[in-house]
Amino acid sequence: MTARALMILGTASHVGKSVLTAGLGRILADEGYRVAPFKAQNMSLNSAATPDGREIGRAQALQAEACRVPARAEMNPVLIKPSSDTGAQIVLLGRVWGQVTAADYHNHRVEELFPAVLESYHKLASEYEVMLLEGAGSPAEINLREHDIVNMRMARAANAACLLVGDIDRGGVFASLLGTLELLEPWERALIRGFAINKFRGDESLLRPGVEMMERRLGLPCVGVIPFLHNLGLDEEDGVAIEDRRSAGRAWTGLGGDASPERPLRIGVIALPHMSNFTDFDALAAEPSVALAYLERAQELSGADLLILPGSKQTVDDLEWLHRTGITTSLRAHHARKAVLIGVCGGFQMLGTRIEDPHGVENDGQPRTREGLGLLPAVTILHTEKITRPVTGRVLDRAWKQTAFRGYEIHVGETILPDGWAPFAELTPGGADGATSADGLVFGTYVHGIFDDDAFRHAFLDAARAACELSPARDKVCVTAERDQRLDRLAEHLRRSLDMGPIRGWIGPRTGLRA
């Protein structure tokens, strides 16, 4: 039996498609539907490891969690990880497929991948009774229509009822909705069943005349005006989302003169040009005892108590950026002040003495080597094979009160330490991971999501605050424990905002199908 399909389309990127798909997945799962998410093609540097060690977009992993089903590579068969303005790595069914230019991908390669996309969809559709599809960007990208595989072409293949979502917080929502429909072909417009307005702030009665006019102009029902939901705290996939994150000016204003031991711990994350998996630090940012900022200029680093070098899609390029901007000098000065410095994945590789790319993995096949920061005695050699797996780990430093953690690895490369040098942790699977400096103030790890573990994060913050001569945190949050509650909160928010009657009518009643 083939599942019924509902597709969430947007008038633009970052209108809330991913979060709405997750919320609708939780609603339908609560109502007893066996439901699964699907996004044919996703462009994002935020990714996650599935239980069987495949790589997919982090948003689809969240959506699977919302639907209460395991994440699978088929839920995001094509993942595009940009490496430059015109090039990207293609991940097919969780494994690296190749490196392409944007023009080559859209004009040629995408047609090679579409059969695998369809096969993935039909495999899932045979196991579930409802498929929740997410579009990408806008379905009205007329310059890309001929080779589009993620919006209307996929909607037609799935025979999906489509909901078009506009973001009023960005302005121009009525023009965006109308313009999108005007640019669609007749067969594409026929698949759109209704529209919704997302991220509304204010008095809805003032919006109502415009909504009614849009219903007449579009010939479609508005199934809901969704109020802006503050402090949701769920993963975001788009690079656009990083623009909303707090800069030093926003996060640390007023803290410079605060010398009290109760003040927030100032954590600075270096905003690398090719930063990946910036969601690694959302849990830290959620802690009341932390003021976390993303730093782009060398002079901003002096305000931080603790600095983090995050993951990178282009590690050598971002290492060169550190040297070129003077941030390398500031990082070394930070270390000289006996302050804590952490590297995660690519950031860990940068902390070493050098990075070698003999196969040109990050440079279109052209070998190169770059000097690292020299704060750990590690040499990294980039290999063609990518390691992707969920792991559990144990910090080897006995001074830590909580040593156990869990997370996932997604990286290329092997990091070699001199004999007798202490790794940061022991992983299962994987063995020794990362490295720790002799003074314990610098450490690196390959594990993403390490700060998502509540007990580990709290122990880490206790140690970090003590190292900065700050008092223990009075209040702590349990992000992991609250994650399911956040999904439930999102679902309840949508239940109050959306008219679920028409949506249920589009997908039909439950069939009782079970995998």
Q: Give pLDDT, residue 240.
A: 47
Report the CATH number at residue 298. 3.40.50.880
**Ranges 154-168, 250-264, 287-301, 497-511: which has the least confidence:** 250-264
> Quick check: 230 pLDDT over 90?
no
**34 part of a folded domain:** yes
Confidence of residue 250 (pLDDT cuts 50, 70, 90): low
> What's the rounded Cα separation, in Å, for the pair 305 and 287?
15
Q: Amino acid letter at 276?
A: S
**33 part of a folded domain:** yes
**478 part of a folded domain:** no
Q: Give pLDDT, residue 515.
A: 43
Report the CATH number at residue 54. 3.40.50.300
**266 part of a folded domain:** yes
Quick one: 191 and 61 in the same domain? yes
Number of domains in the chain: 2
> What's the rounded Cα separation, in Å, for the pair 487 and 280?
18
Of 14, 334, 448, 458, the active-site residue reads 448
Which carries the bigger pLDDT value, residue 510 or residue 100? 100
Task: Report percent pLDDT > 90 for the chain.
Answer: 77
Residue 345 is among the residues annotated as catalytic for this protein: yes
pTM equals 0.89
Number of H helices, E strands in the chain: 16, 27
Quick one: 189 and 313 in the same domain? no
**507 part of a folded domain:** no
Quick one: 53 and 202 in the same domain? yes
Q: Write the DSSP string, 306-364.
A: EEEE-EESSHHHHHHHHHHHTHHHHHHHHHHTT-EEEEETHHHHHHSSEEEETT-TTTT
> Quick check: 254 pLDDT over 70?
no
Quick one: 206 and 302 in the same domain? no
pLDDT, average across residues 384-394: 93
User: What is the domain range of residue 22?
Assistant: 4-234+483-500
Quick one: 259 and 215 in the same domain? no
Confidence of residue 257 (pLDDT cuts 50, 70, 90): low
> Quick check: 513 pLDDT over 70?
no
3-state helix, strand, coil in the chain (%, to 5): 35, 30, 35
Quick one: 172 and 269 in the same domain? no
* 435-465 pLDDT per residue, tens: 999 888 999 999 999 999 899 999 999 989 9
Residue 334 is among the residues annotated as catalytic for this protein: no
Quick one: 76 and 191 in the same domain? yes
* 290-339 pLDDT per residue, tens: 999 999 999 999 999 999 999 999 999 999 999 999 999 999 999 999 99
> Quick check: 239 pLDDT over 60?
no
**137 part of a folded domain:** yes
Quick one: 110 and 193 in the same domain? yes
pLDDT, average across residues 475-495: 92
* 328-347 pLDDT per residue, tens: 999 999 999 999 999 999 99
Quick one: 205 and 263 in the same domain? no
pLDDT, average across residues 490-496: 97
> What's the rounded Cα separation, in Å, for the pair 228 and 232?
10
Quick one: 272 and 127 in the same domain? no
Quick one: 488 and 373 in the same domain? no
Of 222, 274, 345, 458, the active-site residue reads 345
**297 part of a folded domain:** yes
Q: Write the DSSP string, 94-127.
A: TEEEEEEEHHHIIIIIHHHHHHHHHHHHHHHHTT
**508 part of a folded domain:** no
Quick one: 51 and 168 in the same domain? yes
